[in-house]
Homo-oligomer: A and B are copies of this chain.
Amino acid sequence: MSNDPLVVFTPSGKRGRFPAGTPVLTAARQLGVDLDSVCGGRGICSKCQITPSYGEFSKHGVTVADDALSEWNSVEQRYDDKRGLKKGRRLGCQAQIMGDVVIDVPEESQVHKQVVRKRAEAREIIMNPSIRMYYVEVQEPDMHEPSGDLERLAFALKDQWGLEGVKADLNILHTMQPALRKGQWKVTVAVHHGNATQPAKVMHIWPGYYEGKIYGLAVDLGSTTIAAHLCDLDSGEVVASSGIMNPQIRFGEDLMSRVSYSMMNKDGAAEMTRAVREGMNTLFDQIAGEAGIDKGLIVDAVFVCNPVMHHLFLGVDPFELGQAPFALATSSSLNLTAAELDLKIHPSARVYILPCIAGHVGADAAAVALSEAPDKSEDLVLVVDVGTNAEILLGNKEKVLACSSPTGPAFEGAQISSGQRAAPGAIERVEIDPVTKAPRFKVIGSDLWSDDDGFAEAIAGSGITGICGSGIIEMVAEMRMQGIVDGPGLIGSPDQTGTDRCFLDGRTYSYMVWDGSAEAGPTITVTNRDIREIQMAKAALYSGARLLMDKFGVDKVDRVVLAGAFGAHISPKHAMVLGMIPDAPLDKVTSAGNAAGTGARIALLNTDARAEIEQTVQRIHKIETAIEPRFQEHFVNASNIPNAVEPFPILATVVTLPDVNFNTGGGDNTDGGRRRRRRG
């Protein structure tokens, strides 16, 4: 035995001795080295490519001779002629170990490979999808030993892949017999590995070796938009991303108005269920079209959403979510099939819906927790998913708290007089001159500031149409910084502010941002009512975060992560001036992008992550803001800009806010009494 050649695999470092002539793939399997193969070592799939290294390896104590592996064979030659093998590569199932050798397994040849992600700080995704493909050779039927074709297929999976007790979806029975015969008893099957409620099953069958791919969808079902990533289930790569407006918007902009719709209209909930599922199918058509793939190859889908969307998508009346005690029908994760949800992808595609955390903290928040992993953080992190409803997580590896807070749609540009969705023409960045009090801004579609040369030409196509969510945040913060609006949220008069841009507009003042009348475009102003809307939205968000800090027993957080598509565009400084987020070093406020969508993608590509988040949500402590008296107090304080009582010492080192008060005795402007409970 000790004379047998030694093989050392990198990067795993696993090593062992094997008789001369052992294929590299066989050695890898025996050592538990992660080396992929779909065809089971038959020289068909080329997934088991490896790179032998030659020469002296003192680190491993091995000298590799030129003839350490068997010669390049005809199977490798055929594959190279047909598809080209990278220089230095061999097929692991063909190359035999003849002498001591060091074998590198490149990332793409690993089953559990790491998915390359653009964002540097993002957690890595290790491939471990719930559905994989296997090539098998099936015994032919024999009249003397009658058995079903399916039973022989299952035997082949057990015999050739060690997969025990695999059953089949009913649709497999409809296609299996012709496929087996067309492939001359060699077939490729897609096998779902099963879970707590679904046994392992063959989902699809192709005659012979199937060279194509199978796909999965990671879907973030929001109240306003539905966004999906189509992923290759082998590489993990996103092959297309797409989004549509949630068609339920016609039943109500925010969630509470949809819950009301279902209460006021018989079959209202069913109507909304139909709408969202139809929307889903439209989106899936769109994304499959973009990627140029057959929808029938989408075999897995993961969904994240808030509780109301969760219920409506499942066909559950959200009635109970509209009133205390906000009881979810179910908080567990769900394993379903596409057919059960009327989704027109692969007929038996699997569907996984992440668990909900509580009646107001949904599977989307769970997905954010999966993506941003506050439960694994050394320092104390506040994760805020900014949307019509904000989901807030606070914690570290010791403990994680969660709540939601009804911010309303102001951050999406709704209920703001010149507000609009983020689209070309919308003001997204703002600076107000300390002396002239005049704003300069950028609009979506151009990188130029409004006072740069060529700005007018650059935006000629879109015009200047309104202010989007991130724009309004910067606008209000700049107005506060330059003394146009005071702490309680009142816009000053021309006298008080020293600019004619402030003008009497009914009983309060408004601020003129852009007079479009010369170009027949809209005139863009910020009214005092707009300020109120932003105050309420940011106060809801802040008071939720502050409540969690109380419960955690802290006065400050180490870092803040802004999640949500919108969170990506928020300027940390302006958000802090507004008092939307707690005081923190600006470089400790980062954006995670669509973290909910990322969480969905992680769960799609790695089934272990599903088990992980199911465990994690059990440990997250949920805070119901509606029954916490201090929430109201925090809310009232947070209505001030940045806050009536809390100091922002770190902010103070960066920005000095003018100490102005425009109230001349006409009333209380904190507006705490106008508080509404909104969900959505």
Closest CB in chain B relative to A525 CB, distance in Å: 42
Known: A174-B315, A319-B177. A146 touches B358 (CB 8 A): yes
| Chain B minimum-CB-distance residue to A154 | B332
Shortest C-beta distance, A205 to chain B (Å), equals: 12
Stretch of A322-330, A431-439, A503-511, A634-642 contacting B (4+ beta carbons < 8 Å): A322-330
Which of chain B's residues has its CB closest to A176's CB? B329
Report Cα–Cα, A178/B316, bound state, in Å: 11
Question: Which residue from B319, B329, B359 sits with its C-beta under 8 Å from A173?
Answer: B329
Q: Count the A residues whose beta carbon is within 8 Å of the partner chain — how many?
A: 49
CB 8 Å contact bits of A304-326 with B (1 = contact, 0 = none): 00000000001111011000111
Whether A325 contacts B143 in the complex (CB less than 8 A), given A168-B330, A330-B148, A330-B149, comes out as yes
Interface segment, one of A105-113, A210-218, A489-497, A620-628? A620-628
In the complex, whether A293 has a CB less than 8 A from a CB of chain B is no
Q: Which residues of B contact A144 (CB under 8 A)?
A: 624, 627
Q: Give the dominant DSSP class at A's interface.
A: loop
| Closest Cβ–Cβ distance, residue A45 to chain B (whole Å) | 27
Residues of B within 8 A of A314 (CB): 170, 173
Chain B residues contacting A316 (CB-CB under 8 Å) are: 173-174, 177
- Which chain A residues (281-322) contact chain B, with CB distance < 8 Å? 314-317, 319-320
The complex places the Cα of A356 from the Cα of B148 at a distance, in Å, of 9
Q: How far is the CA of A148 from the CA of B307 in the complex (A)?
A: 11
Instruction: Select A329's contact among B142, B149, B201, B626, beta carbons within 8 Å.
Output: B149
CB-contact partner of A177 in B165, B327, B626, under 8 A: B327
Report the bound CA distance from A336 to B170 in whole Å: 8
CB pair B627–A143 under 8 Å, yes or no, is: yes
Other A-B pairs beyond A143-B359, A148-B356, 16, CB < 8 Å: A142-B325, A143-B624, A146-B358, A148-B327, A148-B331, A149-B328, A150-B332, A151-B332, A170-B336, A173-B329, A173-B330, A174-B315, A174-B316, A174-B317, A177-B316, A197-B201
Name the 5 nearest CB pairs between A and B, nearest first.
Answer: A146-B358, A148-B331, A141-B327, A150-B330, A148-B330
Can you list 9 pairs linking A and B with CB atoms under 8 Å apart? Answer: A141-B326, A146-B326, A146-B328, A146-B624, A147-B331, A151-B331, A170-B314, A177-B317, A177-B329
Task: List residues of A whose CB falls within 8 A of some B CB.
Answer: 140-144, 146-151, 165, 167-168, 170, 173-174, 176-178, 196-197, 199, 201, 314-317, 319-320, 324-332, 336, 340, 356-359, 622, 624, 626-627
